[in-house]
Amino acid sequence: MRFRTRLLLIFALTTSGVVALVTGAVSVLTRRAFDRIDNDRRAALLAQFQQRLADQGEEVARRVERVAASREILRIAIDASQRSPDFSTYFGEAQAQAEAASLDYLDILRDNRTIISSAHWPARFNYANDWLAAGETPPAGAFLTRVPRRDGADLALVAFRTVKAGDAAILVAGGKRVDEAFLESLGAAPGIHAILVNVDAPVDTRLKDLVSRVESSHHTENAVVPWSSAPLDRYAVAAMPLERAGHLLGVLAVATSLAEELALERWILWVGVIAGVSGIILGVLTGWWVTERVTRPVEELARGARAVASGDWETHVAETSRDEIGELARAFNRMTEQLIEQRERAIQAERVAAWRELARRLAHELKNPLFPLQITVENLRRAREQTPGEFDEVFRESTDMLLGELGKLRAIIGRFSDFAKMPQPELQQVDANACVAEVMRLFDAQIREHQPPITTELDLDKSAPRVSADPEQLGRALRNLVLNAMDAMPQGGRLSVRTRALDSLGGGARIEVSDTGQGLTAEECSRLFTPYYTTKQHGTGLGLAIVQSVVSDHKGRIWVESTLTEGATFIIELPANQKPECSGMGPA
Amino acid sequence: MKRIFLLSIAAVSAIALLGAARRPHYGGTLRIETNASPADASASPFAGLVYETLIRFDEKGDLQPSLAISWTHDAARKRWVFTPRTGVTLHNGSPWNPGALEFPDDRPIEDFARAARAIVIHTPEGQSMGTGPFHVTKWEAGKQAVLAANDSYWGARPFLDSVEIQMNRAARDQALDFDLGKADVVDAAPSELRHLRQRGVAIVSSRNCELIALAVEGNAGDALAFSIDREAIRNVILQGAGESTGAILPPWLTGYAFLFPFTRDIARARATGGTATFSVDGDDAILRAIGERIVLNAEEAGIHLRPGTNAGVRLMRLPITEPNAALALSDIADTAKITLPPGGALDSERSLIASRRVIPLFHLPLSHAVGLRVHDFRLGATGRWHLEDVWVGGEHP
């Protein structure tokens, strides 16, 4: 992945991450704030309900007290004190009293709590009032209970009062319904619903689970309830048990709509998404702009480095800033300048060394023939003092000697001349195997006659492709290598020549020439291709230099692998089709 | 002495005036308010006031002459032959001269006494005329009727000049109008009788001519019959009015009602138990209260009565419109939509009760509260108004 892409990705991820984090944080904080407000509202309504229940209880108790204090009730009490009281005439009395006292429920009871008259269920006369458990003493104040009616039971606030007449007593039990109308009187704020759940009747399916939990725990339970299929129609519901003496009478559910909260959360989410997308786009654009500014010099440096690596040491990168990148560019430029200077110096030193070597070699090569020449000329000078016959003989021998030595000098000069006049290769498709076989044939007789003997091993890869080469120059290079190998094995040994198909260089051939001579040191290996460098006593140091020159002209490469005392292997790789820009493959 | 003489004359005059106020006299309008809403003036409680039958039942259920003075079979005993009364005029003053009154003998003679068999003359102008002591001057079905005295009635002209009747009137409005003196005669519910009597209000009642019963479809009847505490209901809800009964027809009509006793046996009812749908016919407060009590009684006996329409158990008021056992039983069966078993009245009633298709509960009278200025207001055995002899004075309640 490119540096710029990576930077862009980091920018985008950072931006979207920050936006997501902010959106999430805002959502969570908003939800918490809403939850807190909703909880407060629900708690306030529950407290209000409790207070209203207490107030209503006092009112119910007062009204029942008034009914109990009426003359009509006293008359019933007096009748009750008779031996065989007839209560049938009071059948409608409870209804009249309930209407007058504005009570929803009123039972006039005998002291054994059988009903004399019932306002809300007149037909229940002579049946037992069951607002209280059997044997339970009526509390002094009002209390919650379930009042049975024709088709179920109502939750009600009721109070009992006893009216005595002599030894007899009757009871007045009255109450007010605690229902939706009662809840409406609480004046809940918009969006808050108070629902009274009758646990004896089928419970609203939306509240069923919550009510079940309250029935189990006998504590206030909270839940979020979907109110309809509409996605935003959800309510947070607090369900409070309404009970007496451990018996659950009903459940008060206070529900606050979450529509606003959910709408706001959705809005925040949308804003977050829009901000996120915008942020990502902005981040990408900014990142692109920033990375462009940051990576351009880096990429230029990279291009420069690649150019330097490919040999273009003249590469110069722009120094656009004063920051670290600018400093890097300046350092790079300094480095290339120093490299160039060092190369120049190295070249200069190489040239000097080469010239010195050349001078040394020339001196060495020329000194050998010069000494016989000098001796011969001095012999001739001295021979003038001898007899003409002796002089002629000396003269003849000396001239032969001079001509021989001059011939040697000419040969030396010819080799130097040849090296200087290496022609440009005339390329054609050449079968490397054929070329190798041809060279080996040339040396066949010489190798056979070599004493001690040299064995040969020819290993030719038939799949080796044709290479683009000048067959004369390639043959010359191979001859030099074979000759070199034979020279390296004066004590005999094995000469191996192998060809292989190449995967590198866009396809091509590899030629290896190995000997089992004394081998080379690492220093010798590094200097072996330097012109006029030789490890042989009578070599000119130009053979391998010529080989390297040929391989280089063919856009191939050559190197030597050697282990001291175990021989050496010279390896040539030649491309099938010469491509001067062949990347990563410098000439030898 | 002179002073004593003057005082004596004044006293005699006052007694004479008082006596005159207590004597029947013609004139005046009787104002009646009722919850009843008959379809026309031939039905109870109007029956006999506007339209008359050839023969009629007396209070004992015996047949008496009315527009026909006699009746007999023809020689072949295939037709009833009636002898019309002479001197009868229609409400428009034209004489009623029906000629020969012969009818096929395909029904009992008592059927000719039914109110539904009254003689109604339809004029070409579309009017309906009768021969009764009153004629209709205004009729708004279900709301109001005004009757005027028939001056040429073959019997004696009624004392009243007219009768104004408010029909389908709510009990509360009736009570209010009665107390304010705006109504002379109003319905008196059985549960109110005791209270009205305590207030000194005059009550006129018919014989027990209404049966409150359960019409039962299905097999819940046996358990229900044993679960209901009739006496408690009668004492408390009906305030002692009427009679608890196990018979369909009241004893005054048949004399054999004692053959159908009733008992409450919760254990026996529990042994059967069951579930049924239950409804109360009509919007009637007393009937609703009785229905609630029946539901409680049934619940106590392990029978669950669920409210519902087209219920298997229906609490009904079944009026006895004719003082004749067979006709009354037939009418009750028709009203309750029950097929009457064949046989005489006794056998049919016995079969009905044994099958538990009908569970008789109470026989109730029809009662009216009558204002102080109304005199001689009388109800027939089945609750028909007898207004021929009614006269009104100047008193106000």
Give B198 to chain A, closest Cα distance, Å. 11
- pLDDT of B291 reads 94
Residues A434, A559, single domain; the answer is yes
In the structure encoding, which two tokens stand for residue B210, read together?
Answer: 């209404």
Alpha carbon B166 to chain centroid, angstroms: 17
How many CA atoms are closer than 13 Å to the CA of A205, on its beta-carbon side? 3
* pLDDT tens-digit series, residues B118-143: 999 988 888 889 999 999 999 998 99
* B88's tokens: 């009868």
Task: Tell me if A123 and B191 make a contact (CB, 8 A cut-off).
Answer: no
d(CA A150, nearest CA chain B) in Å: 8
Predicted confidence (pLDDT) per residue in A541-562, tens digit = 778 888 888 888 888 889 999 9
Say yes or no: A529 and A570 in one domain. Answer: yes
Provide the whole-model pTM. Answer: 0.63
Same domain, A479 and A554: yes
The predicted model gives B112-119 an average pLDDT of: 91
Q: Cα A41 to chain center, whole Å?
A: 47
Each residue of A68-111: pLDDT tens digit? 999 999 999 999 988 888 899 899 899 999 999 999 999 999 99
Encoded tokens for A333: 């430029």
Cis-peptide, bond into residue B45, ω within 30° of zero: yes
Q: How confident is the model at residue B2 (pLDDT cuts 50, 70, 90)?
A: low
At A237, list the tokens. Answer: 């519901």
CATH fold for domain B205-364:
Dipeptide-binding Protein; domain 3 (3.10.105)
| Pair (A433, A406) in one structural domain | no
Which residues from chain B sit within 8 angstroms of residue A126, using beta carbons? Answer: 232, 236
Quick: pLDDT tens for A41-70: 778 877 888 888 888 899 999 999 999 999
Model confidence at B5, pLDDT cuts 50, 70, 90, reads: low
Asked if the model's pLDDT at residue B262 lies above 90, the reply is yes
Average model confidence (pLDDT) for chain A?
83
Q: Decide if A123 and B293 are in contact by the 8 Å CB cutoff.
A: yes
Task: Answer yes or no: do B296 and A88 touch at CB < 8 A.
Answer: no
* A520, A401: one domain: no
Gyration radius of chain B's alpha carbons:
24
Tokens 């004394």 identify what position?
Answer: A518
CB contact under 8 A, B236 and A91: yes
B289 touches chain A (CB under 8 A): yes
| pLDDT surpassing 70 at residue B9 | no
Residues A474, A549 contacting (CB under 8 angstroms): no
Last residue of a domain, one of A392, A420, A448: A420
- A162 — pLDDT class (breaks 50, 70, 90): very high
| Mean pLDDT (whole number) for A436-462 | 89
Report the residue of chain B nearest A117, measured CA to CA: B236
Query: Residue B284 in contact with residue B237, Cβ under 8 Å?
Result: no
For residue A582, what pLDDT band results from cuts at 50, 70 and 90?
very low
pLDDT at B20 over 60: no
- Report the percentage of chain B scoring pLDDT > 90: 67
A449 and A333 inside one domain:
no
Return the residue in A91, A116, A149 with the most chain B beta carbons within 10 A, the one to mutate for interface testing.
Answer: A91
Average pLDDT of the segment spanning B228-256: 94
Percent of chain A with pLDDT over 90: 19
What is the 8-class DSSP label of residue A459?
Answer: E
Q: What is the structure's pLDDT at B15?
A: 56
What is the C-alpha to C-alpha distance for residues A196 and A186, in angstroms, rounded to an integer? 13
| Tokens (6 digits) for B361 | 């509960």
Q: How far is CA B331 from CA B59, B108, B217, B244, B369, in A?
A: 18, 15, 19, 21, 27
Which residue of A72, A86, A88 to mutate against B (max B Cβ within 10 Å)? A88
CA distance B74 to A286: 126
Distance CA A472, CA A427 (A): 10
Contacting B with CB below 8 Å, chain A residues are 87-89, 91-92, 121-127, 150-151
Give which of B229, B235, B236 to mutate to test A binding, by max A Cβ within 10 Å: B236
Average the pLDDT over A525-533 and give the result: 78
Q: Which residues on chain A are in Cβ contact (under 8 Å) with B240? A: 88
| B307:A89 CB<8 A | no
Query: Would the pLDDT of A581 be above 60?
Result: no
User: Mean pLDDT throughout B283-288?
Assistant: 87
* Tokens (6 digits) for A215: 């029935």
Distance from CA of B293 to the nearest CA of A (A): 5
Q: Looking at chain B, which residue has its C-alpha nearest residue A124?
A: B293
Both A538 and A415 in one domain: the answer is no
Residue range B247-267: average pLDDT? Answer: 94
Instruction: Tell me what pLDDT residue A505 has.
Output: 61
Terminal Cα distance for chain B, rounded? 39
> Is the same domain home to A460 and A516?
yes
- B386 pLDDT higher than 90: yes
Q: Of the given ranges (A101-110, A149-158, A168-177, B155-164), which has the lowest mean pLDDT?
A: A149-158
pLDDT band with cut points at 50, 70 and 90 for residue B389: very high
Contact A88 B236 (CB under 8 A): yes
Q: Confirm whether A210 is domain-assigned.
A: yes
Contact B361, B230 (CB under 8 A): yes
Residue A584 is predicted with a pLDDT of 33
Whether residues A492 and A542 share a domain: the answer is yes
Nearest-angstrom CA–CA distance, A78 and B311: 44
Question: Domain range for residue A529?
Answer: 428-575
What single letter denotes the amino acid at residue A460? L
Together in a domain, A407 and A479: no
Q: Where are the domains of chain B?
A: 55-129, 205-364
Q: What share of chain A is helix, strand, coil (3-state, %, to 5)?
A: 50, 20, 30
CB distance from B293 to chain A under 8 Å? yes
Neighbours of B306 (CB within 10 A): 14
Mean pLDDT of A179-202: 78
Taking contacts as CB-CB distances below 8 angstroms, the residues of chain B near A149 are none
Q: Which residue has the higher pLDDT, A290 or B18?
A: A290
CATH value at residue A110: 3.30.450
- Bridge partner residues of A243 (DSSP): A248
For residue B395, pLDDT beyond 60: no
Cβ of A150 and B292 within 8 Å? Answer: yes
B11 has a pLDDT exceeding 70: no
User: Residues A225, A186: one domain?
Assistant: yes
Structure confidence at residue B13 as a pLDDT band (50, 70, 90): low
pLDDT for residue B362 = 97
Please state which of the ranges A121-125, A364-368, A482-486, B308-312 shows the lowest mean pLDDT.
A364-368
Most confident region among A276-290, A500-514, B361-375 by mean pLDDT: B361-375
Q: Is residue A97 part of a domain?
A: yes
Condensed to tens digits (0 to 9), the pLDDT of residues A412-443 reads 777 777 767 777 888 888 898 999 999 898 88
pLDDT at B77 exceeding the cut of 60: yes
Q: Does B232 touch chain A (CB under 8 A)?
A: yes
Average pLDDT of chain B is 89
Closest chain B C-alpha to A121 CA, distance in angstroms: 8
* CB nearest to A123's CB, from B191, B235, B289: B289
CA distance A114 to chain B (A): 14
Q: Do the Cβ atoms of A123 and B194 come within 8 Å?
A: no
The single-letter code of the amino acid at A218 is: H
Mean pLDDT along residues B50-72: 92
H/E segment holding residue A560: strand A557-562
Residue A579 reports pLDDT greater than 60: no
What per-residue confidence (pLDDT) applies to B12? 55
Does A293 map to a domain? no
Nearest to B236 among A121, A125, A150 (CB): A125
Which of B235, B296, B307 lies closest to A123 in CB terms? B296
The more confident residue out of B384 and A542 is: B384
The answer to whether residues A41 and A190 belong to one domain is yes
Which of A3 and B108 is assigned the larger pLDDT?
A: B108
Among candidate residues A353, A385, A420, the one where a domain is terminated: A420
Count how many residues are written for chain B: 397
Give me the residues paired with residue A253 across strands. A195, A239
pLDDT of residue A585 exceeding 70, the answer is: no
The pLDDT value recorded for residue B289 is 92
pLDDT digits 0-9 by tens, A355-377: 776 777 677 767 777 778 888 88
Q: What share of chain B is helix, strand, coil (3-state, %, to 5)?
A: 30, 30, 45
Closest CA–CA distance from residue A177 to any residue of chain B (Å): 21
In chain B, what residues touch A122 (CB-CB under 8 Å)?
Answer: 237, 289, 292
Q: Provide the domain count of chain A.
A: 4
User: Is B235 within 8 Å of chain A by CB?
Assistant: yes
pLDDT computed for residue B379 by the predictor: 93
Question: What are the DSSP calls for B255-321, one per residue?
Answer: S-GGGS-----HHHHHHH-EEEEEEESSS-HHHHHHHHHHHHHHHHTTEEEEE-TT-SEEEEEEE--
